[in-house]
Amino acid sequence: MNERDIFIAALDITDPIARAAYLDRACTGNSDLRTQVESLLKTHSQASQFLETPAAATNPQGDKTVLSSSVHELDSDEEQATGEVEFCRYLQPPTRPGWLGRLAHYEIEKILGRGAFGIVAKAFDEKLHRVVAIKLMSPALAATSPPRKRFLREARTAAAVMHENLVAIHAVEESPIPYLVMEYIAGRTLQEKLDSQGPLEIADILRIGQQVATGLAAAHAVNLVHRDIKPSNILLSEGPVERAKITDFGLARAVDDATMTSSGLIAGTPLYMAPEQARGETLDHRADLFSLGSVLYPMVGGRPPFRASNTVAVLRRVCSDDPRPLNDVIAGTPNWLEAIVFRLLEKDRDQRIQSAQEVADLLARCQRELEHTGKVTCVPIRANNARGAESKTRRAPHWGSHTTWIAAGVLSVLCLVVVAWTQGWFSSSRNDDSSSNVARLDRPSNVPPVTNSNGADTGPSRELADSSGGGATANPETTNSDPESSNPSTFETDVNSEPATWNGWSAKQPAPALAPFNADEAAAYQQAWAEYLGVPVEYTNSIGMKFRLIPPGEFEMGSTADLVQELLNEIGDESAWRERVLSEVPKHRVVLTRPFYLGVTEVTQGQYEQVMGVNPSHFAASGTGSEYVSGLSTTEFPVDSASWYDATEFCTKLSQLESLTPFYRQTGDTVTFGVGTGYRLPTEAEWELASRAGTTTTYWSGETTSELARAGWYLDNSESRTH
């Protein structure tokens, strides 16, 4: 193996000990080769996330979020080499000495930057004889159809906008890998300017701010929302007149919902995103105006308006807190300038300045007044204390009511379970004297209502009760079908009085599925249990939902203490999340003693509408995200935007449709479970047993997130889409 092959293979090994062992084997005593590969790995870990990295970094003490540099040019040999390893395999041999190679008729000179979405290189267009920048899509993302289509669609959308304050896109290509050809800007980013100079002069703030607002107005005029306006996405050209140009329309959409990226919690950068973006609401052009205010703030004060120790805390501040008055940060800040910034930073988008063109015009007027009279009179001033009191009262509930959504990062989808005994296919006498060490799966009997940071209840709650009485409250927010909160009842050990083996298991029954096991063994377990019970491994119900038999089994559940501690360090003092993370320890063996059927796919929009008579989905022809599915039939798309209570009602109505006794009973705001033997939602343990399918690695697909990205459709590679 050569240096490049070893480097690429080592990237997939995240455990330091395992990586070192691999390098020992791969380098076979070649110390020079080992040094070169380790150097590349070190550079890779430190490389700037040029395309999509949030401008947030935690200092060694972990007490503040500070601005980090966004490197526009990678100058060292090691940084160049890292980019070359990934980039060069798509290139033809160069015709110019010392250059990297050719991509179609573009001669590639050097790597400019790299990020979660791809690589940017400086190149020369041999046909038009001009210097260009080429953005090449990440090979891992290009290998999957949805990101590939999304990249091409968004590039073509951005290419339709031509303006002197926007980086122009010259071409969009698909082979050998998706890439776009952009205007090359010699200069630096606004982030680099702030890093080197700190707060800017008022004249520079007005000039750059006016140019950025003008560029946004051009994009908004064609219904394009950038969604990631931040200092590192604003390029400042070299030359006699410095000109600001907005770049990286990789997240741009016409109208959007907040989405996930592989380098940040939500698409966009938390330090600069609008509250509605953090809450996952549908966006319009005013989200970019809030981000513009978040960019103007550090131009005036030298630091972003919403700093905290971790991403979740930053998002909470974005949604709930007022930024510190700029006069407290930089004494002598003009009141009119602070007023403009704080108008843009209004949590309620209706209270902001309503268009980018209005912002551009206002900044231009301020610039003219300042030049001619030395003072600004065109900006109305509001008292800060009145603004703060009003906004805090108005938005107190916002964060709490959306905490679960932000953590999930995706629109909810439903996956329903019908347990095997609902059809009378399985029964087992229970030996009450059994002392088998079996995990007891209890309902969440102490789920508190979600509250905001001030302890205020964030909304109405409903009661959950089992059939024997008792209950708890839970906030009925739109979430993923959380297996923990979906746990419908208590499950106890099921054993026979016959000669026993595993945990009191009858010797006549097939062996349970004991992890670890592989795919072939999983299929054998399913077939054995299907034959024993006299049922099919897979069946389809009356509305076309396909279910697969999951045999009884045992697996290890939970996380290691080290991983939990790492997560606790990341989430800080957010008590709701600490509680959930702490529930992951200690790691323990869980036994499921009854077979059940699990839905093979999510409930589709067509199936949901057939049962419920409505379709709540965002990604539907009648949904708020209809523009993303224009011309598509969404009948087979997963239903989304349904709450836990919607899911239980779906189960109840589907059970009635098939003459089954519903598992849930809803009386007013009370949901009683364990009533009948109809359809229900899976427990956390049932879901994990089925999803893991015998694997014991960190993820079901392996140990690394790169393996997960190749195998699954999840937060970091779905952008919160269900299709």
Instruction: Give the residue numbers annotated as catalytic, written as ranges.
Output: 228
Number of CB atoms found within 10 A of residue 470's CB:
12
Q: What does DSSP say about strands 538-540 and 588-592: parallel, antiparallel, or unpaired?
A: unpaired
10 Å CB burial of residue 51 (0-12, 13-18, 19+) is: buried
Which of 615, 649, 650 has the alpha carbon at shortest distance from 634? 615
Helix/strand/coil percent split, the chain, to 5: 40, 15, 45
For residue 183, report the phi and psi dihedrals to the nearest 5 degrees.
-60, 135
Report the alpha-carbon distance of residue 111 to residue 288 in Å, rounded.
29
Measured CA to CA, the distance from residue 499 to residue 483 in angstroms comes to 34
**Residue whose entry in the numeric block shows the structure tokens 């100079």:** 197
Q: How far apart are CA 447 and CA 511, in angstroms?
A: 36
Alpha-carbon distances, residue 438 vs 390, 413, 593, 693 (angstroms): 55, 31, 9, 20
Residue 319: which residues within 8 A CB-CB, separation 6 or more?
275, 278, 279, 347, 395, 398, 399, 402
Q: Would you say 186 and 238 are in contact if contact means Cβ atoms under 8 Å apart?
A: yes
> What does residue 569 show for φ and ψ, rounded to 5 degrees?
-65, -35
Please list the residues that pair with 718 across neighbouring strands: none
CB count in 10 Å sphere of residue 515: 18
The candidate with the shortest Cα–Cα distance to 83, out of 12, 124, 138, 27, is: 138
